[in-house]
Amino acid sequence: MQKIYDRIRATGIIPVVVMDDADKAEALAGALCEGGLPCAEVTFRTAAAEETIRRMKKSNPDMLVGAGTVLTKEQADRAIGAGAGFLVSPGFNPEVCMYAMEKGVPFIPGVMTPTEIEQAMAHGITMLKFFPATAAGGVKMLSALASPYQAVSFMPTGGISADNAAEFLTLKNVYACGGSWMVKKDLIAGGAFDRIREMCREAADIVARVRMK
């Protein structure tokens, strides 16, 4: 499992994808990989999620494809069956989280309060998602959480963009950011894969710049 967390950290920005049409999975996966973000969190908010994960993995076997918005054990099973390498949820549901972890698949639960962080820690989960990041206090909140909770780190998601990603990635308790800005639904629906590739490159450059410092 550590290997997966390491890959998420190395990628730095995880594209959060909402797919309406699994037929676009291969082209999108290609654009993400060529753009330098060989990773995706495919959200279980649409019927196409499971098939999208399967097709992304088949067309780009080296890509790290995870599932997002995993709210139930049944969704966790479907995501894992389709080849998801990690699972993410907006909140912390210990039952679903531990179910996936027991199957050997890393689960990154969402938290936004000290109480939720402590609940996750009590279950041995230290790689967390901070959601909804900007609405829940953004960089200030994450900085305030750093001192009391030194054993955990976060993937802020929700409201992250090319304009603020660097501020988040600079924080010591942030291992990656999640965001949909480079994979907006209209870009995917319109087949704007060149633009997606370009925005991924810009995002990958942000990560490289922050990590060089």
Q: Write down the least CB distance from residue 38 to ligand 3PG, Å.
A: 19
CA distance 178 to 183: 11
Element (DSSP H or E) covering residue 60 = none
Q: Which of 13, 14, 16, 120 binds ligand 3PG (CB under 6 A)?
A: 16
What angle, 0 to 180 degrees and rounded to 10, lies between the N-to-C axes of helices 73-82 and 94-102? 30
Which residue among the candidates 41, 116, 202, 213 is catalytic per the annotation? 41
Kind of pairing between the strands at 13-17 and 153-156: unpaired
Q: How many residues bind ligand 3PG (CB under 6 A)?
A: 10
Which residue among the candidates 129, 172, 202, 213 is catalytic per the annotation? 129
Q: Which of 143, 159, 167, 201 binds ligand 3PG (CB under 6 A)?
A: 159
Q: Is 156 in the site for ligand 3PG (CB under 6 A)?
A: no
Residue 59 or 202 with smaller CB distance to ligand 3PG: 202
The region of 81-89, 119-127, 173-181, 197-205 touching ligand 3PG under the rule CB under 6 A is: 173-181
Contact predicate 178/14, CB 8 Å:
yes
Query: Strands of 39-43's sheet, edge to edge?
Result: 153-156, 127-130, 107-111, 87-89, 64-68, 39-43, 13-17, 177-179
The region of 7-15, 50-58, 139-147, 158-166 touching ligand 3PG under the rule CB under 6 A is: 158-166
Q: Which of 158, 168, 169, 175 binds ligand 3PG (CB under 6 A)?
A: 158
Q: Is 109 in the site for ligand 3PG (CB under 6 A)?
A: no
**Half-sphere exposure (Cβ direction) of 200: Cα atoms closer than 13 Å:** 27
* Structure-token pair, residue 171: 């924080």
* Structure-token pair, residue 193: 């894969």
**Any idea what DSSP says for residue 85?**
S
* Structure-token pair, residue 46: 């649409």
Q: Is 173 in the site for ligand 3PG (CB under 6 A)?
A: no
Q: Is 160 in the site for ligand 3PG (CB under 6 A)?
A: yes
Q: Is 157 in the site for ligand 3PG (CB under 6 A)?
A: yes
129 catalytic, yes or no? Answer: yes
Kind of pairing between the strands at 107-111 and 13-17: unpaired
Q: Write down the least CB distance from residue 139 to ligand 3PG, Å.
A: 15
Binding site for ligand 3PG (CB under 6 A): 16, 131, 157-160, 178-181
